[in-house]
Amino acid sequence: MYVDVAVCLPLSRTFVYKAEEQLESGSRVLVPFRKREIEGFVIGSRNEAPDIEIHPITRVIDSSPLLRPEIFELCRWISKYYVSPLGEVLKAALPPGISARHIGRGGQGGRPLVPLHSGVQGTRGRPPCPPRPVLTSDQSRALDAIRTVTGFQTILLHGVTGSGKTEVYMRAAEDFLAADKSTLILVPEIGLTPQLTEWFSDRFPGKTAILHSSLTKRQRIDEWLRIYAGEAPIVIGTRSAVFAPLENLGLIVVDEEHETSYKQEEIPRYHARDTAVMRAKLAQAAAVLGSATPSMESFHNAESDKYRHVALTTRVEDRALPNVEIINMREEYAAAGKQVIFSQRLLQGLAARLERREQAMILLNRRGYAAFLLCRRCGFTFQCSSCSVALTYHRTIDKLLCHYCGLARRPQARCPECDSEYIHYVGEGTERLEAELMKIYPDARIGRVDRDTMRHMRDFERVLGGFRNGDIDILVGTQMIAKGHDFPRVTLVGVIGADAPLAMPDFRAAERTFQLLTQVAGRSGRGREPGEVVIQSYFPDHYTFQLAVTQRFEDFYARESRYRKGMFYPPFTALAGIMVTDRDPARAAALAREVGEFLDSVRSKTVRILGPAPAPLERIKKVHRHQLLIKSASRATLHHMLEKLQAYVEEKKIGGTRVIIDVDPVSLL
């Protein structure tokens, strides 16, 4: 017999091989391919072979598929919707290193990972499981909406920060568990898993599993096997957990559904939120998208009745939302006669919290000590030799680093261009904020959360656990600290550099800024004491900041929608990005023009094409990048064009890694 195989390469077409035995769709095989052997997945069988030379399968890896049928169908949908090679999608659905021999040992997984992830001995460092409080009327209404779902339905759970969305998730999971149905909870970042895992594990002992990339290969396989064997009907994980092998799925929750980290930025480029909705549809389950600041797309779907909209308008225990104040940093500059990092208002607020033994958080969404080094005589800046970005100075290791390719070099005392000694450190990052605060408040206990300090799960547990226990007074961090965390002692949140995101060349810049400000503001005042938020800005009259004061997403949505409609951007149009790459800049530009000409030849009147043009980050890791954007009023028309482009690229043997198709892109950089 003969089988069609989707190889694990960036190729959309399938290949025919000869099989000695009957193989089910989804079985993994090793096949000869262009003078090497490659892994692939059987996706169908046939009795007759095409009129070409057919090679036999080298080896059957899994005689029975490890992917459940519903996951296989989900992968087919991802491949079609995101115009991604099916073999690459199927590969992403399994944990690395898994094989049939793991299933063959009796289908038993390892021990639950919760003890490994509590991080600190005893109860210190563990977020205490919130007691089962009496639900607010909003929470009760939200829970009833989830309970009464029959078949498939998507609910946008739009709750202000501190409104008790997590308790709704846990009550809903409890109901589905009682009905012998499983629950999948997705979170946007690994740093949010310890708190949520502890809460669910306390509420549902022995029934919770976790899936994310910080687990070892052995741990990921063990957790996957526990889920596969039905030992863990509740799964908490990041983006890739959308493929968890749960049976009898009743509920999928996508927490902080607006977060861009749900979008995979390499092949296959799927969005876990939208994939979760499709998985719920295939399983006839309830999908709950939770956020205090929904994405424009999700709110538009709720407005158009595609999703059901359920609002939580008040905080639990009738706690007030924090008072938000915008500080005009131009006035601070005029008063001080120089640029300052902290406004007087923020410094006074921090001093008051230290005196009252309360806690504060400071957000700056840029790591490192200085944004770049500048020669004040000739204007030279230290640039990455492989990427179109300046090198960031990290004082702790005394190195200039590229945050895209990882290039590291020692800072020079003199300018390499003019031999001047006037090297100036420009801009600040979280590392400098931490150092400056230590100078101003030498007796304060200060912690930092960013990608430099949070390299392992134990780092999150150590710092966040210490902050939760009151061992840290001021927590400085990037957007990692902005959402999902519950710290009842925090009564002040400060935001530094709030203007920076608005300068990004991306139509979503205002949306992301509003979301970040609202989310980080929500960390303040979650306990008994009222909260305050101080946002520092050089453009305090910008509508994003003015609306962030009220924290009313509906008002922001109305304002932003006018801009999006006028400019023909999502959620009012379908969008795809095409990135053309090459190590040679001339070849990259020529290929981009060729792609643009092909798209022009197949487009309809309802389609708009922007570009080709150099990407905002024109070079990354020595690869030159050119970009095109395709806007279409019809998603079907858009997909038809993209499929034609995919076929053209493969016919011309251009290579799938040189022309990258990104459906529903979340970043235009």
The 10s digit of each residue's pLDDT in 39-56 is 999 999 888 877 788 999
Residues 45 and 108 in one domain: no
- Give the helix/strand (H/E) hosting 87: helix 86-92
pLDDT > 60? residue 650: yes
Last residue of a domain, one of 539, 563, 587: 563
Confidence of residue 106 (pLDDT cuts 50, 70, 90): very low
Question: Which of 93-107, 206-220, 238-252, 293-307 is the least confident region?
Answer: 93-107
Query: If we measure between CA atoms, which residue out of 271, 92, 85, 93 comes closest to residue 655?
Result: 85
Q: What percent of the chain has pLDDT over 90?
A: 76
Beta strands (DSSP E) in 315-462 are 323-328, 359-363, 372-375, 392-394, 399-401, 408-409, 423-426, 446-449
Residues 647 and 618 in one domain: yes
Confidence of residue 320 (pLDDT cuts 50, 70, 90): confident
Residues 22 and 161 in one domain: no
Residues 185 and 329 in one domain: no
Residues 22 and 125 in one domain: no
| pLDDT value, residue 127 | 58
Q: What angle do CA 531, 532, 533 make, to 5 degrees?
A: 130
Strands 208-211 and 234-237: parallel
- Give the helix/strand (H/E) hosting 551: none
Task: Kindly report the three-state secondary structure assignment for every residue of 186-225.
Answer: ECCCHHHHHHHHHHHHHHCCCCEEEECCCCCHHHHHHHHH
Cβ burial, residue 305 (10 Å; 0-12/13-18/19+): exposed
| pLDDT value, residue 486 | 82
State the average pLDDT over residues 616-625. 95
Tell me the CATH number at 471.
3.40.50.300
Task: Kindly report the three-state secondary structure assignment for every residue of 575-636.
Answer: EEEEEEEECCHHHHHHHHHHHHHHHHHHCCCCEEEEEEEEEEEEEECCEEEEEEEEEECCHH
CB 286 within 8 A of CB 321: no
Residues 263 and 129 in one domain: yes
Residue 423 within any structural domain of the chain: no
Residue 394 within any structural domain of the chain: no
Confidence of residue 669 (pLDDT cuts 50, 70, 90): confident
Residues 69 and 160 in one domain: no
Strands 182-186 and 607-620: unpaired
CB 131 within 8 A of CB 264: no
Residue 332 within any structural domain of the chain: yes
The Cα 557–Cα 608 span in angstroms is 24
Radius of gyration of the chain (CA): 26
Q: What angle do CA 389, 391, 394 make, to 5 degrees?
A: 145
The mean pLDDT of the chain is 91
Residues 13 and 138 in one domain: no
Confidence of residue 119 (pLDDT cuts 50, 70, 90): very low
Q: For residue 512, what are the CA distances in angstroms to 212, 501, 648?
A: 24, 8, 35
Residues 80 and 122 in one domain: no
pLDDT > 90? residue 317: no
pLDDT > 60? residue 123: no
| pLDDT value, residue 286 | 97
User: For residue 608, which phi and psi values (nearest 5 degrees)?
Assistant: -115, 135
Range of the domain at 27: 2-95
Is the dihedral angle over the CA atoms 268, 274, 275, 281 positive or is it negative? negative
Tell me the CATH number at 74.
3.40.1440.60
Please name every residue paired with 55 in a beta bridge, in sequence order, or none if there are none.
17
Residue 411 within any structural domain of the chain: no
Residue 272 within any structural domain of the chain: yes
Residue 380 within any structural domain of the chain: no
pLDDT > 70? residue 104: no
Residues 313 and 170 in one domain: yes
The Cα 370–Cα 389 span in angstroms is 14
**Strands of 359-363's sheet in order across:** 323-328, 532-537, 490-495, 359-363, 474-477, 446-449
Cβ burial, residue 59 (10 Å; 0-12/13-18/19+): exposed
pLDDT tens for 15-25 read 999 988 889 99
- Give the helix/strand (H/E) hosting 554: helix 553-567
| pLDDT value, residue 116 | 40
Last residue of a domain, one of 512, 536, 563: 563
Query: Which structure tokens are listed for 16?
Result: 């025919």
Query: If we measure between CA atoms, which residue out of 448, 563, 583 comes closest to residue 507?
Result: 563
Question: Which of 182-186, 401-405, 500-504 is the least confident region?
Answer: 500-504
Query: If we measure between CA atoms, which residue out of 121, 252, 66 comes closest to residue 176?
Result: 252
pLDDT > 80? residue 404: yes
| pLDDT value, residue 220 | 93
| pLDDT value, residue 534 | 96
| pLDDT value, residue 46 | 87
The Cα 25–Cα 5 span in angstroms is 9
- How far the first Cα of the chain sits from its last, in Å, is 48
Residues 208 and 310 in one domain: yes
| pLDDT value, residue 639 | 95
**What is the domain count for the chain?**
4
Residue 197 within any structural domain of the chain: yes
Residue 540 within any structural domain of the chain: yes
CB 432 within 8 A of CB 395: yes
Residues 538 and 600 in one domain: no
CB 354 within 8 A of CB 441: yes
| pLDDT value, residue 63 | 83
Tell me the CATH number at 597.
3.30.70
